[in-house]
Amino acid sequence: MYGSDFAADPHGHYARMRAAGPIIPVELAPGVNAWLVTGYSLALDVLRDTERFTKDPRSWAALSEGRIPEDSPVLGIMMYRPNALFSDGAAHARYRGAINDSLSRIDPHALSEYVERSAETAIDSFAERGEADLLGEYAAIIPLLVFNQLFGSTPEQGSELVRVTAIMFDATSDETTQANVDMLRYLADLVEAKRHRPGADVTSWMIAHPSELSDEELMQQIALLLAAGTEAQMNLIANALRLLLSDDRFAGELSGGSLPVQDALDEVLWTDPPLANFGARFARYDVEIGGAWLRMGDPVLISYAAANNDPELAGADRIGNRAHLAWSAGEHRCPADGTARAIASVAIEKLLDRIPDLELAVPAERLTWRPGPFHRALTSLPVRFPVLAKPTPGPAPGPASGPVPASAPVPPLSSAPPAGTSTARPSGSESGDRRRPWSPLGEWWRGR
């Protein structure tokens, strides 16, 4: 599942996998074997089954027996950390409670306003060029700005986050090691600053939560929020924009309000969910599911993308139907689905509102996808449009613009989907541009 063949045609692969049954053995990366659930009903069963499956990767037999290469790119995503994603039972409830309660304090109006201002700022940076890579220059930037705002980063911390994240996304392993150290420093500084000077932000709310998380626990939950939200958020925005710009069903409607945008989001969450194969669980004991015998400690991933497109669901009307598994299901279902959807909606609507004559700069079939077993991620999304007049100056969000308002919006920046599975392939643009998707971030942040 890590090759470019899989990235080029995942649905063809899912169809062939499904023919072998609702769960099949796969190779996530060289030497890393797992089970993949492709059937919708079985996916729901496994996601809800806390008796036979644990989320704790310390139960992963091949890892504890030293059978996973130490430098395997999947470890960044599948290795244990003391956070909600990798915990069960009481520990999970405690972490999840702090996350849920803090996220629920985000004011949706402030969030929406902040996404709009972030979108304006990003659009202004390329409006006069008449062309842009909407992945690196738009979809990647909005989640980052929103995360910094939501978590109360200072301008300096925001810049550091941009720098470190760019490295973690696409770098040599030497750089990644240092970037991990720098990321921990960023998180420690953020928590320390908010302990001394709390603000109206998610970090401060988590510190004040009755669960009384330690500094280490706080850092781990914030890192999870960063990891869980940012890259997936970027890919939701980019995948929905790709659909809107390439599918005739949406042609002519792009400036027509929010309905097509909501429809496009629904469709992408069904067909190309940003986290395509995720939700790793581990068998607590030898168990038979879907006709397959799993050994104790075997990892099972859920193919949200395959399950959503299971022929078992054929005939279901997808527009307005949110029974897809893009946010997972059960106790570990994404706690930020509403927030993530709101960010994507506002970001896309603002872009189409400012640039209604947007069009792809390359045929849709020439757009390429980043290899990797977990995500559904474009390498770039080149567009062109009539050059826009210089915009009226307004308050710019984020670090470059001075203190951030206290009452603002949402999440994350992706931590490191393993560099080995996330390496950007050459861009699909005519010019063969090989910039890493995140590279414009740092430049943009520094005002270039």
Contacts with ligand HEM, residue ranges (CB under 6 A): 84-85, 96, 99, 224-225, 228-229, 232-233, 236, 273-275, 278-279, 326-328, 332, 334-336, 339-340, 411-412
Taking the CB of residue 430, how many other CB atoms lie within 10 A of it? 10
Least Cβ distance, residue 301 to ligand HEM (angstroms): 9
CA distance 339 to 104: 9
Q: Whose Cβ is closer to ligand HEM: residue 242's or residue 385's?
A: 242
Q: Whose Cβ is closer to ligand HEM: residue 37's or residue 232's?
A: 232
- Order of strands, edge to edge, in the sheet holding 359-360? 131-133, 382-384, 359-360
Residue nearest to ligand HEM (CB): 229
Least Cβ distance, residue 67 to ligand HEM (angstroms): 23
Least Cβ distance, residue 44 to ligand HEM (angstroms): 12
Q: Whose Cβ is closer to ligand HEM: residue 93's or residue 400's?
A: 93
Contacts for 5 with CB less than 8 Å, ≥ 6 apart: 13
Q: Whose Cβ is closer to ligand HEM: residue 112's or residue 429's?
A: 112
Q: Whose Cβ is closer to ligand HEM: residue 313's or residue 334's?
A: 334
The one-character DSSP state at 56 is -
Residue type, 1: M
Q: Whose Cβ is closer to ligand HEM: residue 223's or residue 352's?
A: 223
Taking the CB of residue 319, how many other CB atoms lie within 10 A of it? 11
CA distance 136 to 381: 8
Least Cβ distance, residue 148 to ligand HEM (angstroms): 13
Least Cβ distance, residue 333 to ligand HEM (angstroms): 6
Does residue 255 sit in helix, strand or coil? Answer: coil
CA distance 113 to 124: 17
Q: Which stretches of 209-272 are DSSP H helices?
A: 215-246, 259-271
Least Cβ distance, residue 374 to ligand HEM (angstroms): 10
- Rounded (10°) CA dihedral 351, 354, 359, 365: 0
